[in-house]
Amino acid sequence: MNKNLFEVIVVGTMSAGKSTMLNALIGKELLHSANEATTATITRIHDKDGENKFSGAAYNYENELIEKSRSIDFEVLKHWNTDPEIKLIEITGDIKTIYNTEAELVIYDLPGPNNSQDDNHENLTMEVIDNNEYGLIFYVLNATQIGVNDDRSLLEKIKNSLQKDNHKDIVFVLNKADQLDEEKGESLSAAIKNVEKYLTNIGFEQPKIIATSANMALLLQKLINQEDLSRRENMQISVCDFKTLSNLSESELLSINNFINESCQEYLVEENTSPEDKRTLQEKYYQMGFGAICYFLQKEINHYNHLAAESVSLDKLKVFIGQLIMYYLKKSTMI
Ligand SMILES: Nc1nc2c(ncn2[C@@H]2O[C@H](COP(=O)(O)OP(=O)(O)OP(=O)(O)O)[C@@H](O)[C@H]2O)c(=O)[nH]1
Ligand SMILES: [Mg+2]
């Protein structure tokens, strides 16, 4: 196991919104998302604090580097993602929503396993989940298609893998909650209860379920970063009155609220922006479920940072004891 590696794995059925959720987390429309089987390759995103651009590299099935770019954008990634020769894309940049000091943080965007373009997707997904590194899995479900997509066998495999000595936790994200029509009887709380029942039946005990709308969260991030929105996007965000729900406990919700309050503090002191606006947008982003998503991510990374820091000081202690023994050995042979 690599001591410094912490993996965030985003997995789920085809078109559930995995790439969109990652874009909303990165705060940039980088990964290709569309309303059909879209992600065809594995993308690994490396978080490197302080980088002001995302750079990238693409590898073929023989693990040979075939393309490279110092400044990567949506178009380049879209092109690489549809290139049948490319199996793996590595990108590096600063993911500003996450603070990590010790971890080599890697985020995986995986293709939907029921993507008929490639039978191998489920195996690839399980390889990443089984690899025994520290990490967190976000399993994305489509709120409008509960029970339609047959992801039971994949969920069973994941549950079995997590039962072994696997260092990963799982959080379920019920995406596209904005598409439920409460007035037509499509209630979000009922959808959460359904998913909870579905997951408990498979064997997940007290699964954490967070409802969200990844594409609305992405639009909010674009506004926070002062990017221009298209006319359609402006319309979408102006009519969005989506309020999220989860099945989290009172104490978890309290911790999440504290996390949101602390995270929003920085906007009060930031210069050259209109602080109220940014703070309001950031709060909206968090209230859309991304507060809980960022909280769980940050909590795991903090715990991991602590572990990594302990193991670093343990290593230092070992070196020190070794040096001490050498010193006394030398001294005794001198006498
Ligand atoms: N209404 C709504 N649409 C969404 C949401 N999240 C994603 N979408 C849309 O759903 C479609 C699929 O999103 P992707 O992010 O490509 O889904 P994916 O899970 O990465 O798909 P694959 O990689 O092909 O498995 C896109 O058209 C998105 O714009 C959401 O929260 N609400
Ligand atoms: Mg995708």
> What pLDDT, in 10s, does the model give residues 203-257?
999 999 999 999 999 999 998 888 888 888 888 887 777 778 899 999 999 999 9
Structure tokens at 80: 């690489």
What per-residue confidence (pLDDT) applies to 117? 52
What per-residue confidence (pLDDT) applies to 316? 66
- Mean pLDDT, to the nearest integer, of 104-130? 78
**Residue owning the nearest CA to atom 32 of ligand 1:** 176
- Mean pLDDT, to the nearest integer, of 104-128? 78
> What pLDDT, in 10s, does the model give residues 255-303?
999 998 888 876 655 555 555 578 888 888 999 999 999 999 999 888 8
What per-residue confidence (pLDDT) applies to 181? 80
* CB of 324 closer than 6 angstroms to any ligand 1 atom: no
Please, which residues have CB within 8 angstroms of residue 222's CB and are 6 or more apart in sequence?
Answer: 29, 229, 233
Distance, CA of 171 to CA of 158 (rounded, Å) = 12
> What pLDDT, in 10s, does the model give residues 19-38?
999 999 988 889 988 777 67
* CB of 17 closer than 6 angstroms to any ligand 1 atom: yes
Percent of the chain with pLDDT over 70: 87
Please, which residues have CB within 8 angstroms of residue 196's CB and are 6 or more apart in sequence?
Answer: 207, 209, 247
What per-residue confidence (pLDDT) applies to 138? 96
Structure tokens at 279: 């703070």
Q: Three-state DSSP class for 238?
A: helix
Residue 280 CA: distances (Å) to CA of 180, 261, 293, 295: 25, 11, 18, 18
What per-residue confidence (pLDDT) applies to 255? 93
Pocket test for ligand 1, best of 13, 20, 176 (most atoms within 8 A of CB): 20
Q: How many CA atoms lie within 13 A of 111 on its CB side?
A: 24
Ligand of minimum distance to the alpha carbon of 11 = 1
Q: Three-state DSSP class for 75?
A: helix
Long-range contacts of 224-227 (CB under 8 A, 24+ apart): 224/27, 224/278, 224/281, 224/282, 224/285, 225/27, 225/28
Distance, CA of 110 to CA of 43 (rounded, Å) = 7
From 44, 118, 121, 77, select the one nearest 67 (Cα to Cα).
Answer: 77
158 has a pLDDT exceeding 90: yes
Distance of CA 280 to the CA centre of its chain: 23
What per-residue confidence (pLDDT) applies to 239? 74
Pocket test for ligand 1, best of 11, 13, 15, 175 (most atoms within 8 A of CB): 15
Highest mean pLDDT among 31-35, 126-130, 150-154: 126-130
Highest mean pLDDT among 121-125, 220-224, 329-333: 220-224
Distance, CA of 48 to CA of 22 (rounded, Å) = 16
From 3, 26, 191, select the one nearest 93 (Cα to Cα).
Answer: 26
Which atom of ligand 1 lies at the shortest distance from residue 217's CA? 31
Please tell me the distance between residue 140's alpha carbon and the centre of ligand 1 in angstroms: 10
124 has a pLDDT exceeding 90: no
DSSP 192: H
Distance, CA of 271 to CA of 268 (rounded, Å) = 9
What per-residue confidence (pLDDT) applies to 131? 86
What per-residue confidence (pLDDT) applies to 247? 92
What per-residue confidence (pLDDT) applies to 196? 94
142 has a pLDDT exceeding 80: yes
Band of pLDDT at residue 40, cut at 50, 70 and 90: confident
335 has a pLDDT exceeding 70: no
Please tell me the distance between residue 214's alpha carbon and the centre of ligand 1 in angstroms: 8
**Residue owning the nearest CA to atom 13 of ligand 1:** 17
Which atom of ligand 1 lies at the shortest distance from residue 16's CA? 19
Band of pLDDT at residue 17, cut at 50, 70 and 90: very high
Ligand of minimum distance to the alpha carbon of 217 = 1
Provide the whole-model pTM: 0.87
128 has a pLDDT exceeding 80: yes
**Residue owning the nearest CA to atom 12 of ligand 1:** 15
